[in-house]
Amino acid sequence: MPLPEQDIHYFIDVTLTHLNKLTGNEITLRSPTIEFQSLVFSAYTGLLHLKGTAEGFVYITASQQFLSHLYTVRGNSGRAAEENCREVIGDLTGHLAQNVTKRFGTTLKLSEPRVFSTVPDDPIEMPPAVFVQPVVWRKEHAYIVLGLASAELSAS
């Protein structure tokens, strides 16, 4: 069975809830898009591969400023360096992984979070379509990107 809409949306919902908690509910949503040709990558990205009831990937990608603001609200001072930004995006991705594992258990296997800047070192296979949810905070952008592949199609 393909994942119901609620389960698919959980990836986005849990990330938004976490971001709102960190930012004091200051996250604004932009209208989502479905992309067919290319993936969206900002300065830093944290990615999880999915296998099982859903196949594909989910990642969070954010601008340096977005992550720098998050770094500051977590009680740090000064401008976030590259390693700080990687740490922040890694924490966001880890939080997502933890919650997804809690919800889906062994039916959905997750890869170790992969953190990279600009574009991935290893190519990511483009699924037929990816769901992109843009979020804005303090005029800075981040994107939650969901790419589901073959399991979604073959199962239904």
Partner 1 sequence: MTGTEIYKRTPTYEAEARSIRIHAPQWKLLLAYDGQRTLSEVALSAEMAYAEAVPLTQTFLENKWIAEEPITLDQYLKRLGAKDITATGAVVAPPVVLHDPEKDKPKPSAPPAPLPVTPPPVAAQPPATPPRPVPVPIPLPVPVPVPVSASAPKPVSAPTPVTPPPLPATPVTTPIPLSALPMPDKPAAKRTMKLSAVVDYITSLVGNVSLGQILVYRVFLRVPPELLLAEDIASVHLSGDASLINGEKLQKAIADAVNAVAKKGLPDSVYA
Cβ at position 105, least distance to partner 1 in Å: 21
**146 contributes a contact to partner 1 by CB under 8 A:** yes
Is 156 among the residues that bind partner 1 (CB under 8 A)? yes
Q: Is 103 in the site for partner 1 (CB under 8 A)?
A: no
How many residues interact with partner 1 (rule CB under 8 A)? 27
Question: Quick check: 17 binds partner 1 (CB under 8 A)?
Answer: no
Q: 60, 133 in Cβ contact below 8 A?
A: no
Handedness of CA 88, 134, 35, 5 (dihedral sign): positive
Nearer to partner 1, 71 or 143 (CB): 143
Out of 41, 152, 154, 155, the only residue in the binding site for partner 1 (CB under 8 A) is 152
Nearer to partner 1, 57 or 131 (CB): 131
Pick out residues in 21-50 that bind partner 1 (CB under 8 A). 28-38
| Residues found near partner 1 in the complex (CB under 8 A) | 2, 5-6, 8-9, 12-13, 28-38, 127-129, 131, 146, 148, 152-153, 156
